[in-house]
Each structure stands twice: as structure tokens, then as C-alpha cells.
Amino acid sequence: MNAVTWMVVLLIAAKWIWQFWLERLNRKQVLAHAGRVPEVFKNFVDEPTYAKSVQYTLAQGRFQQVEITFEPVLLLIALLSGVLPLGMGWVSRHWGTTPWAMAGFLFVVGLAFSVLGLPLGWYHQFRLEERFGFNTTTQKLWWLDRVKALGLSIVLAYPLLALVLKWVEWTGSRWWLWAWATLLGFQLLMVVLAPVLILPLFNKFTPLPEGSLRERLLKLSGRTEFRARSIQIMDGSKRSRHSNAFFTGFGRFRKIVLFDTLIGQLAEPELEAVLAHEIGHFKKKHIPKMLVMAALGSLIGFYLIALLAQQEWFYRSFAFEAGSLVPALLLFGLLGGVLTFWLSPVAHWLSRRYEYEADAFAAEVMKEPVSLIGALRKLNEKNLSNLTPHPFYSGFYYSHPTLLERERALTGDEED
């Protein structure tokens, strides 16, 4: 343990303390409103549903406390036990230091963290979600999803890691620019190919049948000049009763997707308003803006990795030998979230601004806010959303405004 490792320990501890404090703060806020339905929500939430949403929020909070404790403990064990440099040394001795061998080491470390987190994921799905009536998946399907995800990682992520390491051999000190360009190109390619090749591996997509809903949504698409290849229904109900809607893909591959659960929960004008909201994200160019921000973030990340790879003290602090890019990539991957966590309120603030803009677009297209407000109310009710989060908690964690904030913005009762 030296000054660097102590600083890392303190940063990890600070994140845990802050998360734990926010959770306790939110819990007190929820309990303060738990006795009866707040007046502002009484016209669409009954007492039993509100009581169930309070219990669901509290259960999620207890689970989050376990999760936010498990993750830093696991991270500290990995960083301070010496298992990472020992593992890298073992791979080097038996498989060499080629890009493929070192990418394999990085891949296995990531896989180990994922495997160790499986019990928590399983408990959340088959205990917590099951208790509140949201889980509809089977053990077989849940494990099959993980196997498919592993297969995709082997096919896509592993070669990508090897290519990043190969750029060091090909381009020397400028490797980080080439690696960033490679990652950016891969991400853009996935935006196009994922809806066609990857999403169908997990869900079944069927065209929206002929009828009044399809006609209504196609008219909306036409008057907003949003050209989509098709409107499809996704069988989200085979995993959960939670619902959503989105569009995916670019150009001629773009398609509108509605969860089958969403269609069962909302009336046709409300479905139209939800789709208008999603189209609002497209018309306001939120997706390209977020892609640009993500690209800039990854560029900064690769540059910082390149700097750290030149610092012998950084390697020595975690018992690695200098001279290889691999430890810098590994440590940055493990510790990057500890630092970017503190920037999440800024990213979520921007995301909430985008949601307000998309809501305003939907209200303008629909020529009234009532349909969207009705949809938001039903979705919050059906999903047992926390209707009374603490402002600090929602400000730090929520990528969407709360229901009350969105209603006030739509009706003009409060500045958004």
C-alpha cells in the first residue's frame, strides 16, 4: 500500500458512502409519504397500488444497498490481493504476450467480474421482481440470455480488444487515436447492424397488424416526416411486465418498436403520444448529440490510458511491471467508473433536458398534452415507479424527470 493505492481506496470508499447516504435519504423521503397517496396523485393512483409502489421502491433500495457494497468490496479484493498481476504473469508464461493472449487475459477478467455478479442479478429477477409480479421469464431463458451474451462478447468484444492492442505494434505512441477511431467505427456499425442481427437473437419482432393503431401511427410518422421501415411489436412480455417503446437503426434500417406490454397498457392516443415523444428525440437530434458526447468521452479515456501507460509509479502501485499497455487498460477499465460516477449528475441533467424537449415536441404534434400525460401516469402506475423520490437522489441518478416534473412542464405550471 502506497499513496496511490490509498487514494484509490479512499475514492472507492467515498463513492460507497455517497451512494449509501443517497439511498438512505431517498428511503426517508419515501417513508415520509408512505401513509397515504399524496393529493397530487390521487386522481390516477389508488391506495393499494401506491402502497405497493412504496414497498417496491423500498425493496429496490435494500437490494441496491447490497449491490453497492458488493461491487466495491470485489473491486478492492481484485486490486489489493495481487491476483491481477499474478494472472497476467501466468498468461504471459503459458500463452505469451501477443495481442490475442493479452486480450484473452482482459476478457477473462471482465468475464470473472460478470460471473461473480450473477447471483445478484438472479436474485433481482427471480426474487425481487417475482415478488412484485414483474418477472415473466423462466430459468432456462434467463440463463440462455447470458450464454448468448457471452457468445456475442467472444465474437465481437474479444477481437476488438486484440485489435486495440495490435494498434500499439502498428502505430506506436499514436495507438490511442487509432484505437479510438476503431471503437467509434465499431459503435456506429453496431447502431446499424444490431437491430438486424443482434436484437432478433433475444426477442421476436412481428409487424404491427393492420388496424386503427397501425394507421394512426403511420399517419403520425408521415406528418412528422419520420420515415421508418416498419412498426414492429417486441415480445418483451416473455421476460418482464415492464414496458417501453423505442426506435432503432438508421436510414432504411430504422424501425419503430413497441413492447407488447405497452400495447396492452395504453389507449391508442396514448401510444401515439409515446411514439411522438420518441420521434421528438430523433427530430431534436438527441441521438447524434449523445453519440458525439460519448465519442468525446472515449477519446479522452484513451488519451488518459496512453498517459497512464507511461507512468511507472502507476504500474508499481498495483504490483504490475511497466512496459505493457495491458495493465493500464485493465486498471482504467476497473477504476474509470469510480471517477465518472461523480460526473453522472451532469450527464443525467442533460438527459432530462432532452426528455423535456421530446415531451414538448410530442405535445405540439398531438396538439394537446393530455394524451402524453395519461400515458406517463399509466406507465408510472404499472411500473410501480417511485412517485416521491428525494430531489438529491433523482438529480443524481435519474435520466428522466419525475412524473410530477414532466406534468408541470407539459402544462406550464412550472418552468422545466
Type of residue found at 150: L
Contact 77, 14 (CB under 8 A): no
DSSP state of 350: H
Question: Got the DSSP string for 43-112?
Answer: TT--HHHHHHHHHHHHHHHHHHHHHHHHHHHHHHHHHHSSHHHHHHHHHHHHH-SSHHHHHHHHHHHHHH
Cα-based distances in Å from 83 to 78, 80, 90, 138, 335: 6, 8, 10, 35, 16
Q: b or e along 47-73 (b: 16 or more beta carbons within 10 Å of the residue's beta carbon)?
A: eeebeebbebbbbbbeebeeebeebbe
Per-residue pLDDT of the chain (416 residues; tens, 9 = 90+): 788 999 999 999 999 999 999 999 999 999 999 989 999 999 899 999 999 999 999 999 999 999 999 999 999 999 999 999 999 999 999 999 999 999 999 999 999 999 999 999 999 999 999 999 999 999 999 999 999 999 999 999 999 999 999 999 899 889 999 999 999 999 988 888 888 889 899 999 998 888 999 889 989 988 988 877 678 899 989 999 888 887 776 666 677 888 988 898 999 999 999 999 999 998 999 988 998 999 999 999 999 999 999 989 999 999 998 888 999 999 999 999 999 999 999 999 999 999 999 999 999 999 999 999 999 999 999 999 999 999 999 999 999 999 999 999 999 875 43
Catalytic annotation, pick one of 359, 381, 405, 407 = 359
359 part of the active site: yes
Contact 329, 106 (CB under 8 A): yes
278 part of the active site: yes
Predicted local confidence at residue 232, as pLDDT: 87
Q: Is 260 left (phi over 0), alpha (psi -120 to 50) or beta?
A: alpha
Cβ-based neighbour number of residue 284 at 10 Å: 15
Question: How far, in Å, CA of 19 to CA of 46, rounded?
Answer: 31
234 beta partners: 205, 259
Type of residue found at 272: E
Question: How far, in Å, CA of 292 to CA of 269, rounded?
Answer: 34
Contact 240, 136 (CB under 8 A): yes
Question: How far, in Å, CA of 290 to CA of 410, rounded?
Answer: 24
Catalytic annotation, pick one of 278, 355, 357, 381 = 278
Closest residue by Cα to residue 81 from 340, 334, 339: 334
Contact 288, 270 (CB under 8 A): no
Rounded to 5 degrees, φ, ψ at 58 are -65, -40
Find all residues with CB under 8 Å of 183, minimum gap 6, and list them. Answer: 160, 164, 298, 302
H-helix or E-strand spanning residue 397: helix 391-397
Alpha helices in 204-285 (DSSP H): 212-223, 260-265, 268-283
**Cell numbers at 329, concatenated:** 487498460
DSSP state of 240: B
